[in-house]
Each structure stands twice: as structure tokens, then as C-alpha cells.
Amino acid sequence: MIKDVVLTPLVAHQDDRGYLIEILRASDAQFTKFGQVYLVGNMARGTIRGFHKHDLLIDWFFISHGSAKFALYDDREDSPTYKELNEFVISERKPAVLTVPTGVYHGWMSLEDDTQLISIASEVYNRDKPDEYRVPFNSFGYDWTIKYK
């Protein structure tokens, strides 16, 4: 796994009223600081958002509805996992939070219609000077197609 990337399985606490999932707590080892939270909805299966990386911002991703495939590429030359590519599938049925450190390109694709992602960021997004570096979705030789097993 790419250095500093963390996939944390989460627990759905259920009772007769429904369920509750704690996504991220200030006491979690992978938490650094709070910047903002936002919700992204992909209306159709197969919608790809990626790739980009940050110099300052750490991302934590949670799929609240549907399912998604994440692809990560380590672009940090000083990292022992430099140029490593990872793939993760996260869904509402298998809840997890994915921590993406600075310097790691990341993107995601909806595996179901109306997939919703909650993103927690360590920094506030600066619209005047965005902390993001974008490359085409097909960079790093990554193939977004579904692999039937």
C-alpha cells in the first residue's frame, strides 16, 4: 500500500431506529486538522473524477450512498512507494474512510447510479489559488474499466 494511505474500516451501529456511522474523529490517528466538508454526487455509474493531487491538503473520503472505485498514484519522489498505484472499492455496504496524504494523485469512479461521496479536507479550498494539480483521468496507465472476477 502507498505510504501514509490509510483505509479504515468503519462500523455501522444499528438498532431498531436505523444506523449510525462515525466517519472521522479528532482522536483518530490519521486525523490532522479540519478545513471543510463537502458532498459530491455522481448521477451516473461510470462517472470518473480524477486525477489530482495536493501539496498542503489531506483528504478523507467516505461513500455515504452507492459505491465507488478509487485509484491512487504516489508521486512523491522521496517516498518508498514512489510510482506505486493502489485501488480501493468503498461502498455504503462496506463502510470505510480512505485517507489520502499530500503528494498522492487520486480519483474515483461511481460503480452505481447516484453515488454520493463525503469529503473531509484538512484545509479550506482556496478558489483564488487552488492547491491542486490535475492530470488526465487516464494518466499513469490506469484502466478504469470494471474487472469481472
Q: Per residue in 55-95, pLDDT tens?
A: 999 999 999 999 999 999 999 999 999 999 999 999 999 99
Domain encompassing residue 44? 6-135
Question: What is the CA angle 69-73-74, rounded to 5?
Answer: 145
Q: Per residue in 24-37, pLDDT tens?
A: 999 999 999 999 99
Q: How many structural domains does the chain have?
A: 1
Q: Is residue 141 part of a domain?
A: no
75, burial (CB in 10 Å: exposed 0-12, middle 13-18, buried 19+) = middle
How much is the pLDDT for 149? 81
Report the side by side order of strands in the sheet with 67-74: 85-91, 67-74, 104-110, 48-53, 133-134
Contact 47, 58 (CB under 8 A): no
Q: Is residue 81 part of a domain?
A: yes
What is this structure's pTM? 0.94
In angstroms, the CA 50 to CA 66 distance is 18
